[in-house]
Structure 1
Amino acid sequence: MAIPPPPDFGGRSQQPYGQAPYGPPAQPPYPGGPQVPYQQWPGGYSPYSRPPVNGFAIASLVLGILCFLPAVGLVLGLVALAQIRKKGERGKGLAIAGSILSVVGVVLLVLAVATGGARDFMDGFRDAARDARNSAGFPVGKGECFNVPGSRLEGAEYAYQVDRVPCSARHDGEVFASVRVNHDSYPGDSALTHLAEEKCGGLQAAYVLDSWVDRGDAQVNYFVPDGDTWRQGDRHITCLFTDAERKRSLEGSFRRDGTNLDADQLAYLKADKALYDAYGSEPDAERFEDDLPGHKEWAGRVDKGLAEQARLLRAHDWPAKADAGITALVDAIEQNRKQWKKASTAEDADAFSEHYVPAQRHISGAREAAARKALGLATTSPRDATPGDESPGGHEDDGGGAGAAV
């Protein structure tokens, strides 16, 4: 069947709307000629796309600028460069800058550790933390000394008039400990006073390891929160050495511990403590006749304390300047033990006294003073400094002293 020819529209073929007529494409218009009508782009709209910025590069730059965890910032920068090369992401400049800044931070950190800058920073941080801690209580920290107007140390009001001063200057008091009170609610004045007497009496020995240190007119005191300061957040008992005569006569620090003693001094005082802990456990009864069994048991404890003191002295490697003094002291200890051992088995009070009197000659004696002098420790026995005090360690003051409840 024959296909009919297309209809004739005056010698022109009708094309579908929007399409050019059959035949070769029209030539572009010449300048000044008729313009071609605007033709809409046949494809769908597609905005121009750019690759994303690498997240590790951004993190590296931030850590590098803040100088925070510089080693982490350097690692992130290297990881970012590797990912950028692999994925074609943006952020190479950020990664390089972050890596460089992080390297600088690592170098500065190493220098700070090597030169002690980090330690100084931490000391400053601890000082600030201590000041913040004491803001609601006593304003002076452990190891520091202070004055108050008129040396008036009674009541709560003096704590708000404290002036921190060097311990080398004359002062009213020195802080030797701070104890946190772990109670959910205010325990009351009486309970806090009892706790302060118990804690401060024991903590003074840890602050003043050398029992021969002359404390002069100092006494143990304390500062505790009252109901008002408790509500403000104060939870600390502050233990103090204060001038008992209120004449601002204290001068120099009583502190003798690991912060200002060398290894040889600490070793000697550890051995010294073995004796004086036993010696300080003397019965309450002053007369042997009133408690002979108790005194005999005490003599046995002193004998064991002397044995431990000698053992610790032998075990340490002493400097040459102290060898002779330590050797002489150990010999004296062994001789003295015989008297204490006999006292511990005495049949009556007279026999006890017969051995007790010569046994006392070693306690706080010349051999101890000579050994101490070689080590740079105090050489004056507390019994010599305080007439009538038979306790070489000054234990009669432990836990005593006035208290200020605030």
Structure 2
Amino acid sequence: MSIPPPPGPHQPDPAQGPQGPSPAPDPYRPPPQGQQPYGPPPQGQQPYGPQPYGPTPPGQQPYGQQPYGQQPYGQQPYGQPYGVPYQTWGQGYSPYARPSSVNGLAIASLVFGVLCCFPAVGLVLGVIALVQIKKKGQSGKGLAIAGSILSSLGLALWVVALATGGLSEAWDGFKEGATEGAAFSVVKGQCFDAPGESLDGLTYDVDAVPCAGEHEGEVFGEFEMSGSAFPGDAAVSDAADERCYPLQDAYVMDTWSLPDDVDVYYFGPTRQSWRLGDREVTCIFGNTDETGTLTGSLRVDATTLDDDQLTFLMALNAVDETFWEEPEEQPEDDLRGYRDWSQDMHDSLDDEIRHLRAHTWSGAPAKPVQALLKDMEKARGEWAKAAASDDVDTFYTHYDAGYAYVDGPTTITARKALGLASDPPYDDEDTGGTGDGAGSDHLDV
């Protein structure tokens, strides 16, 4: 025998009899007294509508409140928690839209396009930036397009400038402005007037003029310096002093023809022109007087001399070079040095005598040159004896005799016959020696 379960709060009493299925509710008819609309509420929850007054039974919540941790709406499947009222976002996304980053290559493309210094680089960066922007979703598309357009225009201008030579003219103008006050290139044998009051100081330009008339300077040589860093003004001056004077002797082989009021100047590179590749030092003649000028060319070399003149000057100049190597100390302090130098004088005279005798002399210079050769042979013997001297007094005797022929009467006569300058380049106060009243620059004793 089965015992029916006790009646629940919403289950009819068995004593009332079985009940059939509930008829469909009529929306226009109120529910029967004592029943809830549309069926009972779920078990364990309070029905909607007014609640009885009085204290809340134990274990139940007051009206209008829900147990902590439960949601008032929406029943979830059995065993699942109640749903969250707002949708959550997956990892790496945000519920708010963040601004995208600007592509760096787009910015660089615009910079190169504005500067126009490297238009090809700006164009390449712009194209790469557009590809990256599309792939990564970055911003900066307008910058990349603007940079590409400006770079294309700049590249076109460069091509036009190269094709028309405008870029070369612009570069030449830049160098001219950068090297203002710096050294410049002039040609050997050129005569000119400088824009300044003198040849001292900075000169950035010259006016070429004929050498036959008056002029302020004449170029007689040039040479190139080396090095990557500018050596300084003092080093340029020292190089000019060392290398310009040998060039002078090659340009003016007849040293007697050089006027007393002529001095050596030079044009050299400055720190600014050195950075542009200027390494040239130009050696020039100028007047010792700042307001003075030169007249006529001073050039006396193979381009202006005949064969007899050239042979004669080459021989005498070679001997003069040895003369200039005389020791600086006195014979009393350096007799050995003077004896070695005397031997060099003997050897130099021997070589030049053979060269002069090997040349065929004809016409007016023949006899004067033969007379000079005899004096040179005598001097050669004296220098041999000076080189063999054992004491200072003996050395002085042969030293003076060896200088006797230098720039003496036979030299002057031969020069006149050859059409060369015949006035010795020194005053009578500078003369010395013992032979025939001939002048010389030798040691006074």
- The equivalent residue for 1:338 is 381
Percent identity between matched residues is: 39
Q: Which residue of the other structure, out of 232, 257, 260, is the alignment partner of 1:216? A: 260
Aligned partners of 1:288, 1:309: CA distance in 2, in Å?
26
Q: 1:356 to 1:186 in 2, by over 3 A?
A: same
Q: 1:341 to 1:220 in 2, by over 3 A?
A: same
Which amino acid counterpart does residue 389 of structure 2 have in structure 1?
A: A
- The equivalent residue for 1:323 is 366
- The equivalent residue for 2:334 is 291
- The equivalent residue for 2:422 is 379
The Cα shift of 1:349 comes to 2.1
The Cα shift of 1:386 comes to 8.2
The Cα shift of 1:388 comes to 6.1
Aligned partners of 1:155, 1:352: CA distance in 2, in Å?
48
Which amino acid counterpart does residue 300 of structure 2 have in structure 1?
A: R
Aligned partners of 2:273, 2:228: CA distance in 1, in Å?
14
The Cα shift of 1:268 comes to 1.0
Q: 1:388 to 1:170 in 2, by over 3 A?
A: farther
- The equivalent residue for 2:313 is 269
The Cα shift of 1:160 comes to 2.8
The Cα shift of 1:384 comes to 4.4
Aligned length: 260
- The equivalent residue for 1:254 is 298
The Cα shift of 1:177 comes to 0.8
Aligned partners of 1:251, 1:358: CA distance in 2, in Å?
39
Contact 1:296 1:344 in 2 (8 A): yes
The Cα shift of 1:368 comes to 1.3
- The equivalent residue for 2:169 is none
Aligned partners of 1:327, 1:143: CA distance in 2, in Å?
34
Tell me the TM-score normalized by structure 2.
Answer: 0.53
The Cα shift of 1:354 comes to 1.6
- The equivalent residue for 1:145 is 191
The Cα shift of 1:213 comes to 2.2
- The equivalent residue for 1:69 is none
- The equivalent residue for 2:47 is none
Aligned Cα root-mean-square deviation (Å): 3.0
Aligned partners of 1:240, 1:389: CA distance in 2, in Å?
32
Map residues 144-223 of structure 1 onto 2, 5 A cutoff. Answer: 144-148=190-194, 151-156=197-202, 159-160=203-204, 162-223=206-267
Aligned partners of 1:302, 1:262: CA distance in 2, in Å?
27
State the structure with bigger RCO (CA 8 A, min sep 6), 1 or 2.
1
Contact 2:368 2:410 in 1 (8 A): yes
Q: Greater helix percent: which structure?
A: 1
Which amino acid counterpart does residue 226 of structure 2 have in structure 1?
A: N
The unaligned stretches of length 5 or more in structure 2 are 1-175, 434-438
The Cα shift of 1:365 comes to 1.2
Map residues 31-110 of structure 1 onto 2, 5 A cutoff. Answer: none
Q: 1:349 to 1:331 in 2, by over 3 A?
A: same
- The equivalent residue for 2:44 is none
Q: Does the alignment pair 1:241 with 2:311?
A: no
**Structure 1 stretch 262-271 or stretch 139-148: which is displaced more?**
139-148
Provide the secondary structure at the position in 1 that maps to 2:204.
helix
Contact 1:217 1:250 in 2 (8 A): no
The unaligned stretches of length 5 or more in structure 1 are 1-131, 396-406
The Cα shift of 1:181 comes to 2.5
The Cα shift of 1:186 comes to 3.0
Which amino acid counterpart does residue 380 of structure 2 have in structure 1?
A: R
Contact 1:211 1:393 in 2 (8 A): no
The Cα shift of 1:291 comes to 1.9
Q: Deviations over 1:362-392 (max 9, x none)?
A: 01111111112111111122234884699x9
Aligned partners of 1:208, 1:352: CA distance in 2, in Å?
34
